Homo-oligomer: A and B are copies of this chain.
Amino acid sequence: MKNVGSGWVEARNSRGNVGLVPEDYIEVKTILIISFVFDFTSLFRAYCMKLENCVGLFLSIILLLSVMVILCHMAVGSVYSFDEEWDDDSDDGKSTGGYGGSQADEGGTMQRGGAHSTMKLSLNKFPGFSKTPNPEVYLLTKHISKGDDRLPIYTGEVGPVWLYPQIQLDCVVADPKKGSKMYGLKSYIEYQITPNTTNRPVNHRYKHFDWLYERLVEKFACALPIPCLPDKQVTGRFEEEFIKMRMERLQGWMSRMCRHPVISNSDVFQLFLNYRDEKEWKLGKRKAEKDEIVGVKIFSNIDPELPELDPAQVEQKYEMYSQFTRSMDNSVKELLTVGHLHWKRCTGPLQKEYRQIGKAFQNLSSVFNTSAYPREYTLTEALTATGKTYEEIAEIVAGQPKKDLHFLMETTHEYKGLLGCFPDTIAVHKAAIDKVKEADHLVVMNKISQQDKLIMEKNLSTMSYALQAEMNHFHSNRIYDYNRLVQFYLEEQVKFYETIAEKLKKALGQYTTM
């Protein structure tokens, strides 16, 4: 690796490819040694499982190898690595879209990752853009696409809306299966995804979802907030509980993507759901990775069949959406905090306490039972039943969050992720507003023509319609989701309290009325 000046660094990735990388994108990863060893240990564990009988031999060889590798890495002082080879969730060593190459910001291409991509360039290490894509390229564009890629915006009952399909796309993520390659050295989980349109299942690994996510971010994130995938996880990836939870979250993510009229209709998303064989998948992948309508260019496809908005109206909408998404972000965070606390209370101290109440009644019953007093029986039986009832209540209380709070929390968590993407999308919008504000000055300075200024205003209006259509899509989904969610939560809560009341009534029935 060497610094070639002007903020660019020539870097080599683990596959030997050399390219220019912006200096800002690079982090010195001394910590990688540890994670490298850690992954090496996983690999070693996989080996041991396969070859239990030869443990002694392999142990020596592999330990030796790993020590050599560590020493080798330590020798160079600090390690720069774009290596993904040891990460089972990552790609299989071929192209992931040129992370080793140059990442110029021309055309406002976005590279945005969630907290889940821990072993890539720092660009992708944190949610949000590292730099807000520059909307200038688009704002000055005169030609408006009228082809297949056209994204119309209509006036619906609620204001500007995307064109929604007649039948809403949906899919089922199911049947997680463990697969392996490299002679069993690498294991992974493959999910079956069945769209309602073809009813023909396709298989995808987590890394394919990740690839899709990256394509969607590149292509749409300037106009549409693309929620992150469920977090990547290094340990416990093959545990049943984890697989179940990840599948549930992938299902949630896919359903949200399916519900979006722009995303669900895109070539890359259709490819993901409908590819017929490996060849079609590989070709489609290559095509998607070469897509040039990415970043702010996506606005060129947007075609609002609505009267142009003046910049003041645009700014007013921007302010409102910005305020709303920030407030909602705080509100869902509060709900998550409270929900988390309640969950812990139910499965922790409350369960313990109801068990103790149950035990106290049962102990009292046991003691009474030793009295040798002839009229004891009814009371001791009733007290035992009461004690057992409270023990049952303890388990009901502890099991309840999984039955109701879980869904409220999962969807709210999803919204937290989605709301975390809005600031970036809104920032592009804000940058465009600021550019248009400068336009008058630029006309006076003869930097742009009056005609250019009018085009910029028209394009800003288009961007605003896109944002409005997107916010209306968001609102509509939000209302649908929270109406359904809280309703379900309350239904389950009612059942919960009624069940307890019923159980206590039954226990009460055992006492003699005096």
Chain A residues packing against B (C-beta within 8 Å) = 157-159, 320, 323-324, 327-328, 330-332, 334-335, 338-339, 341-342, 345, 349-350, 353, 356-357, 359-361, 363-364, 366-368, 370-376, 378-379, 382-383, 386, 472, 475-476, 478-480, 482-484, 486-487, 490-491, 493-494, 497-498, 500-501, 504-505, 507-508, 511-514
Find chain B residues with CB under 8 A from A339 CB. Answer: 357, 360
**Is B508 in contact with A320, judged by CB distance below 8 angstroms?**
no
Once the chains are docked, how many angstroms separate the CA of A324 from the CA of B372? 10
**Is B357 in contact with A338, judged by CB distance below 8 angstroms?**
yes
Interface class of chain A by DSSP: helix
What are some 30 contacts across the A-B interface (CB < 8 A)? A157-B374, A158-B374, A323-B370, A324-B370, A324-B371, A331-B360, A335-B360, A341-B356, A342-B357, A345-B350, A361-B486, A373-B472, A376-B475, A376-B479, A378-B483, A379-B479, A379-B482, A379-B483, A382-B483, A386-B490, A483-B512, A483-B514, A484-B514, A486-B511, A487-B511, A487-B513, A490-B511, A494-B504, A494-B505, A497-B500
CB distance from A487 to the nearest CB of B (A): 4
**Is A504 in contact with B497, judged by CB distance below 8 angstroms?**
yes
Indicate how many identical chains form the complex: 2
Find chain B residues with CB under 8 A from A478 CB. Answer: 368
Find chain B residues with CB under 8 A from A368 CB. Answer: 328, 478-479, 482
Besides the contacts A327-B367, A338-B356, A368-B482, what 19 more A-B pairs have beta carbons closer than 8 Å? A158-B374, A158-B375, A324-B371, A327-B370, A334-B359, A334-B360, A335-B360, A338-B353, A338-B359, A338-B360, A364-B482, A376-B475, A383-B482, A383-B486, A483-B511, A490-B504, A490-B507, A497-B498, A497-B500
**Is B370 in contact with A332, judged by CB distance below 8 angstroms?**
no
Of A330, A350, A366, A372, most B-chain CB atoms within 10 Å? A372
CB closest chain-B residue, reference A363: B331
**Is A324 in contact with B374, judged by CB distance below 8 angstroms?**
no
**Is B486 in contact with A331, judged by CB distance below 8 angstroms?**
no
